[in-house]
Amino acid sequence: MTLTLPSAPKIGMVSLGCPKALVDSERILTKLRSDGYSLSSDYEEADVVLVNTCGFLDSAKEESLAAIGEAIAENGRVIVTGCMGNEAEVIRNRFPEVLAITGPHQYESVVGAVHVAAPMPPSAYLNLVPESGLKLTPRHYSYLKISEGCNHRCSFCIIPSIRGDLVSRRPDAILREAEKLVAAGTRELLVISQDTSAYGVDLRHATWPWKGGEVRAHMTDLARELGTLGAWIRLHYVYPYPHVDQVIPLMAEGLVTPYLDIPFQHAAPSVLKAMKRPANEAKVLERIHRWREICPDIAIRSSFVVGFPGETEADFDYLLQWLEEAQLDRVGAFRFEPVTGAAANSLPGVVPEEVKEERYARLMETTARISAAKLQAKVGRQIDVIIDVADGEGGASGRSKADAPEIDGEVHLRDAADAKQGDILRVLVEDADEHDLFGVPVG
């Protein structure tokens, strides 16, 4: 007897915003796939299109509204979720035909909305999902979200009002997910959250049974356990609380990738105070020097805001001087932009746009010079490179342990005909520019 299965509705997804939003999209798609839905990569075929929005900056909101408009024009049946879901009225006013609007982390609601908009035919077959879930990243690297929300109240940020206070995942659940990802081919795990150093605070750093022993809900313990899985473990969004010092020896031992993404945002004490930044303490430079003594290869990436309200020329000079001393490996910079609802908008001392531009250019010039010198110092050394793209004809590009995907530099390889995506190759560095390295596989 031939069994004819009814065809499952197809879901399209437009995912905007940060890696945390990407993880949300993966979870939603994983749940929908396990419910029997099919996925569609084009508007035309989709029975309904989900738009996972970002509402962090006003420019991101505009981008989200434009994406909703495009999905409506191309398909017409649209469900909106994510950070902008908290501003349902704005969306409804512009696009009254949107089928449903849900906010961030409302997985059940958005999945429920899909079931209403495109009901499954009876008797669809389940278990269509690989053990590791569905991923929007390439197979060889995966984001691993360890908590949601944030207990801080930085004056330029509205994330806590969108996503709420810190809620950490259980460490055993995180480790189980990480194991599945590694078993499915992930060779690099990117640990993300709003505040990775605060992981487990809400759980009072309790312990859970794990592999015959126990694991504590704490960044250091989690990093150590993740380090046993054999993948590169890259820590993002780390604030320099004192206990961060404890993960540096794990990097020196090779358990955790020697890379710290610390969004310092500024260095001048008065600006940091106005920003209400967490772990804002004077001894950070000393600690960075100590970290480098313990783990000389540690790469530190950070981001900075220029033109924050009240930032004086002296504050900005302080920041440049601080950068000269800190010698950070990777730096991203932003000109301050008011976000609707952020406390910083009402601070005095608005910095004119042309001053912001001029400071931004000076900061980029400083950090590009530091980056170029640091990369030049790697010429002649051998490093490990994870391959992201291989053209099969000898050209390939990938990243060293100092480079996270999307935000940092790349390593461009010649004579790498055997390289495949996800391989980790030993590479001789032959040349460098301001952002990237150039090399050839050895051995």
Pairing of strands 188-192, 207-210: unpaired
- Exposure string over 171-198, b if 16+ CB within 10 A, otherwise e: bbebbebbbebbeebbbbbbbbbbbbbb
User: φ, ψ for residue 380 (rounded to 5)?
Assistant: 95, -15
**Is 150 annotated as contributing to ligand binding?**
yes
Residue 154 is assigned to a ligand binding site: yes
Closest to ligand SF4 by CB, 246 vs 303, is 303
Query: Cα angle vertex 88, ends 85, 94, to 5°?
Result: 120
Tokens describing residue 169: 């995942």
Among 49, 80, 117, 157, binds ligand SF4 (CB under 6 A): 157
- Phi/psi for 300 (5° steps) reads -115, 125
Contact pattern from residue 169 through residue 208 relative to ligand SF4, giving x for each residue in contact according to CB under 6 A and a dash for the rest = -------------------------xx-------------
Under rule CB under 6 A, residue 279 binds ligand SF4 = no
152 near ligand SF4, rule: CB under 6 A = yes
Which of 89, 18, 75 has the alpha carbon at shortest distance from 52?
A: 18
Minimum distance between the CB of residue 158 and ligand SF4, rounded to whole angstroms? 8
According to the binding rule CB under 6 A, does residue 104 interact with ligand SF4? no
Q: C-beta of 169: minimal distance to ligand SF4 in Å? A: 17
Q: In what order do the strands lie in the sheet with 10-15?
A: 38-40, 10-15, 48-53, 78-82, 100-101
- Does 295 show up as a binding residue in the annotation? no
| Residue choice 79, 154, 162, 295 for contact with ligand SF4 (CB under 6 A) | 154
User: Do β-strands 78-82 and 100-101 pair in parallel, antiparallel, or remain unpaired?
Assistant: parallel
In Å, what is the CA distance from 18 to each residue of 22, 54, 407? 6, 8, 11
Question: Which one of residues 21, 51, 110, 159 is an interface residue with ligand SF4 (CB under 6 A)?
Answer: 159
Backbone angles phi, psi at 397, to 5 degrees: -140, 150
Beta carbon nearer to ligand SF4, 231 or 404: 404
Nearest approach, Cβ of residue 153 and ligand SF4 (Å):
6
47 binds ligand SF4 (CB under 6 A): no
Q: How many residues bind ligand SF4 (CB under 6 A)?
A: 10
Q: Should residue 160 be labelled a site residue for ligand SF4 when binding is judged by CB under 6 A?
A: yes
Q: Return the sign of the alpha-carbon dihedral for residues 318, 321, 325, 327.
A: positive
Cβ closest to ligand SF4, residue 46 vs residue 150: 150
Nearer to ligand SF4, 171 or 278 (CB): 278
Summarize the annotated binding site for [4Fe-4S] cluster as residue ranges: 18, 54, 83, 150, 154, 157
Residues that bind ligand SF4 (CB under 6 A): 150, 152-154, 157, 159-160, 194-195, 278
Residues annotated as binding site?
A: 18, 54, 83, 150, 154, 157
